[in-house]
Amino acid sequence: MYFFLPNLSLTDICISMNTIPKMLVNIQTEDQRISYTGCFSQLCFVLVFGCLENCLLLVMAYDRYVAICHPLSYTVIMHPCLCVLILLSLLVNIVHGLLHSLAALPLSFCTNVEIPHFFCELAQIIKLACSDTFINAMLIYSAGNTFFGIPLIGIIFSYVKIVSCVFRMPSVGGRYKAFSTCGSHLFVVSFFYGTAFGVYLSSTFSSSSNKNAMASVMYIVIPQVMNPFIYSLRDKEMKTALRRLITWKPFICWGHGL
C-alpha cells in the first residue's frame, strides 16, 4: 500500500497541475484563450493520468482484498514484481491518450471555436468539430468501457469479497480492524467515482454548459485535494490533532508528555 500511495499522489499532482494552473491564469488575466497545441497536450495528459488513477485504484482494491481475505499469502501474492504492472499500465495509458489525441487532430473546426469548459475535454472538442466524428465517438465509448468500466467492476468485486469475508469473522475487533484497513481507499474510490458519475448525470439531464463545467471542477479538483487528507487521517497523531481541533482542546508540547 505504501508503494501505491506515492504513485497515487503523483497522479493526483499531474492531473491538478495540468488543468488548475491554466484555469487560475485565465481567471487572473481574464484571457480565456489557449493554443491549439496546448489544448491537445492538455487533452492527452488528462486522459493519461485520469486512466492511470483508475488503474491505481483497482490495484489498491486488489491489495486490500489480498490483505484481508488472504493475509497469510499476502507477501507471496503481492510480490514486488507485481509493481511492474504500474509501469505497464502507464505505458498503456500513454498509448490510450495519444490514440484519442491523434484521432482528434484531423478533425476540422470552425474559425471561431469556444470550448464551454474550464479545460480541453475530449467530448467537448468533438462536439465542436465540423467534420465526421463517428470514429472518435466509437473510440470514446470503447475506451470508456475499457479504462473506466473494467476497473470499476474490479473494485466492486474486490469489496464484495472483502465484505463477505469480514462478516464471517467471529470477533468484533477483527471486523473493525479489517474495515479500518480499507476505509481510506473506500473513501477515495467514493469521491473519485461519485464525482465522475455526478458529472455524467449532470451532462445527461442538464444542457447548461456552465453547470457541466462546474460539475467537472468537482471531478478534477475535489478528489485530488481530498486524497491526502483521507490517507493522513489514518495516522494516530493526525487523528488526535483533528479531535483536539474540533473539541477546541489546547495542544500539549511533545516534551511534556503528549
Confidence check: pLDDT of 93 > 80: yes
Identify the pLDDT of residue 192.
80
Note whether 33 and 114 are within 8 A (CB): no
pTM of the complete model: 0.80
Which phi-psi region, left, alpha or beta, contains residue 248 (left: φ > 0; alpha: ψ -120 to 50)? left
Which triple of cell numbers denotes residue 97?
Answer: 491518450
34-51 pLDDT, tens per residue?
888 888 888 889 888 888
Which triple of cell numbers denotes residue 201?
Answer: 448525470
The class level of CATH for 4-233 reads mainly alpha
171-209 pLDDT, tens per residue?
787 788 777 778 778 888 887 887 777 666 665 555 556
Identify the pLDDT of residue 156.
92
Mean of all residue pLDDT scores within the chain: 79
CA distances from residue 117 to 34, 65, 135, 141, 217 in whole angstroms, order as listed: 12, 38, 23, 20, 9
Domain ranges of the chain: 4-233
CA distances from residue 224 to 63, 72, 87, 204 in whole angstroms, order as listed: 21, 33, 21, 24
Note whether 100 and 139 are within 8 A (CB): yes
Is residue 160 very low, low, confident or very high in pLDDT (cuts 50, 70, 90)? very high
CA distance 156 to 34: 39
Identify the pLDDT of residue 235.
60
Identify the pLDDT of residue 200.
65
Identify the pLDDT of residue 199.
67
Confidence check: pLDDT of 136 > 80: yes
CA distance 8 to 19: 17
Confidence check: pLDDT of 57 > 80: yes
Higher pLDDT, 147 or 258: 147
Identify the pLDDT of residue 207.
57
210-254 pLDDT, tens per residue?
666 666 676 777 777 777 777 776 666 666 666 777 776 554 444
Q: Minimal CA–CA distance to 189: which of 217, 238, 148?
A: 148
Task: Please give the average per-residue pLDDT across 48-68, as a whole number.
Answer: 88
Give the gyration radius of the chain's Cα atoms: 21
Is residue 258 very low, low, confident or very high in pLDDT (cuts 50, 70, 90)? very low
Task: Please give the average per-residue pLDDT across 83-111, as a whole number.
Answer: 82
Lowest-pLDDT range, 13-22, 26-35, 131-140, 238-247? 238-247
What are the residues whose beta carbons fall under 8 Å from the beta carbon of 37, sequence distance 6 or more? none
Is residue 118 very low, low, confident or very high in pLDDT (cuts 50, 70, 90)? confident
